[in-house]
A = this chain, B = another copy of it.
Amino acid sequence: MATEKCFAKGSPSPGPVPKDRLRLYSMRFCPFAQRTRLVLDAKGIKHDTINIHLKEKPDWFLEKNPLGLVPALETPAGEVIYESPITCEYLDEAYPEKKLLPSSPYGKAQQRMMLEHFSKVIPYFYKIPTARRNGEDVSGQEAELKEKFAKLNEHLEKKKTKFFEGDTITMIDYMMWPFFERTEVLELKHCLDHTPELKKWTEHMLEDPAVKNTMYSMDTYKAFYKSVAEGKPDYDYGL
């Protein structure tokens, strides 16, 4: 699409997906949608992007995708795929060049187990900033998050590799990255102070072209998260 501006309730439908590409329904600052954006970019998959106003979703979007979730993919055949890990595995299977998942069944199972563990880390990225905004004491939750980061650090220490599953980037790195990209704006960066290997991993990630292509500046994040805190998310900030 020519515009990155979000489609809200009442916006005209973008019409069918052109034959030669995929369509991604996204929201520019959503960490889950960024997982799919990272995979699309890393694999060089031709696609257009329709950003959705998550507070006022267009009816035509809810018809395609009754849960109204982003990320969602739509194919020219009208097939709709949602849930970030499902979209990413779909992309890796449907576009087999530059595989991001290992080919062995156990290798894949390992990445899925790690993702399952990581799904228990994600809530802290939401709970801590909210609690802090409400003036609550977050030291307990921060201690829990630090413990989870220590486990990830331990994994990297044992593996002695640049990325989570080797010296090249794989799917699990992209699945975790969007949350780490937001540690600074969410004021969680100090939780990485005692996890040097994890910190080094974030530095390696910042050198990856797909990460560079999908990330926003600190100033942009600050402005967006300020609008979220005020209850009026500005999905089009900076456009």
Q: Which residues of A contact B (CB under 8 A)?
A: 75, 79, 81-83, 86-87, 89-90, 93-94, 105-106, 108-109, 112-113, 116
Which among B82, B90, B109 is the interface contact of A108 at CB below 8 angstroms? B90
Identical copies in the complex: 2
Q: Is the CB of B90 within 8 A of A106?
A: yes
Residues of B near A75 (CB, < 8 A) are 106
Contact, CB under 8 Å: A82 / B113: yes
Question: Which residues from chain B contact A86 at a C-beta distance below 8 Å?
Answer: 109, 112-113, 116
In whole angstroms, how far apart are the Cα atoms of A109 and B113 in the complex?
18
CA distance A82 to B109 in the complex (A): 9
Question: In the complex, what distance in Å separates the CA atom of A113 from the CA atom of B108?
Answer: 18
Q: Which residues of B lie under 8 Å from residue A108 when comparing CB positions? A: 89-90, 93
Nearest-Cβ distance from residue A70 to partner chain B, whole angstroms: 14
Q: Which residues of B contact A81 (CB under 8 A)?
A: 106, 109, 113
13 A-B residue pairings within 8 Å (CB atoms): A81-B109, A81-B113, A82-B113, A83-B112, A83-B116, A86-B113, A89-B109, A90-B105, A90-B108, A90-B109, A93-B105, A94-B105, A94-B106
| Complex CA distance for A144 and B12, rounded to whole angstroms | 34
Task: Enumerate chain B residues within 8 angstroms of A82, measured Cβ to Cβ.
Answer: 113
Q: Write the chain B residue with the least CB distance to A108.
A: B93
